[in-house]
Homo-oligomer: A and B are copies of this chain.
Amino acid sequence: MDFTSDNAAGAAPEILEAVARANSGTAASYGADAVTARLVRRLSEVFERDVAVFPVVTGTAANALALATLTPPHGAVMCHELAHVHVDECGAPEMFSGGAKLVPLSGSAAKIDPAALAAALASLPAGIVHHVQPAVLTVTQSTELGAVYTSEELGALVDVARGRGLRVHMDGARFANALVALGCSPAEATWKAGVDIMSFGATKNGALAAEAVIVFDPELVRDLAFRRKRAGHLLSKMRFLSAQLEAYIEDGLWLRLAAHANEMAIRLGAGLSAVPDAALHFEPQANELFVRLPNTTIARLKAGGARFHPWPMPGDDAQARTVRLVTSFQSQPSEIDAFLVLAAG
């Protein structure tokens, strides 16, 4: 009953096996190997267009590299106030970009409100040297609160961003979970919707440590190659990283793993809806739930062996607090059910 995070999960067997399989003889280093070449072709198929792919080992690296490619040091990155890049990366985007400013925006369920974006853009007029210049919009799909932008919601944001000439980045640490929830194609969810560059996450969904910056705009590629190396994120034995990503997308593994995680979240959410004192903040869409529970329930769950993190939210009080529950590709129905039994008291 470990619902602390999907990064507490291990690795999918298919991915571990791919790593072992990649260990055959010598190979050209720094990405000039055959596995990496295949990966780029496969991702181009998955995204229905030629893409450039920069595998890295953390989402923070993917995000910071992508954002730094899109903004000058005097630029502004428009993000949700709960965005991982703003809150949980210890200033990585600032470091990689040479000191760009992240502008936190409001919006429910960690989805940026288009009006908030428009207002913030208006407060940073173009060409006025006293103010940082908005350069990029970053959206997290699925969001830090487990919600999924609909196509319309994303389109509305992109429209505002494009109206000011901003580039668009998607933090897809849980992109597979979002895609399963949306039921659309990877292309529709990204470049067809106006995304220029994305952080394509695999670690939280079964890889050992594998993310990729996927670039839809070829102009961005050259700069990114140097930035990755300079940040210490170009692996010499790249084949072992590319092999994880190749296995991840092979035969739809990534979507199967994510679908399972989402189903477990839905099962958990449905169960919690029936618990009298449990208050779900949102209907679960991907693989995260945020639920306010009485302290007594929390204590009972902990005593019963359940693991999860507190997640303070407005409305919490001395009697009841919000906790975050994250399911993963490894979550078992039996764990869900055991948790629900404990929650019901």
**Interface residues, chain A, with chain B CB atoms under 8 Å away:** 2, 4-5, 7-11, 16, 19-20, 22-30, 56-65, 72-74, 87-92, 94-102, 129-133, 203-204, 208-209, 223, 225-237, 240-241, 307, 330
Contacts and interface: CB of A to CB of B under 8 A. Distances in A.
A230 B29 contact: no
Contacts of A20: 16, 20
A2 B20 CA distance: 20
A73 B92 CA distance: 10
A265 to B, nearest CB: 16
A130 B236 CA distance: 11
User: 9 closest A-B pairs (Cβ-Cβ)?
Assistant: A61-B232, A94-B99, A7-B236, A98-B98, A60-B232, A2-B26, A74-B226, A129-B229, A8-B26
B91 A101 contact: yes
A330 B225 CA distance: 30
A27 B240 CA distance: 22
Given A27-B10, A95-B98, A74 B90 contact: yes
Interface-centre pick from A10, A16, A102, A231 (highest chain B CB count, 10 A):
A231
Nearest to A124: B87
A97 B230 CA distance: 12
A95 B72 CA distance: 12
23 contacts: A2-B26, A4-B29, A5-B236, A8-B26, A8-B28, A10-B24, A16-B19, A16-B23, A20-B20, A26-B307, A58-B233, A58-B236, A63-B232, A65-B232, A72-B226, A89-B232, A92-B231, A95-B99, A130-B229, A203-B236, A203-B237, A209-B241, A233-B233
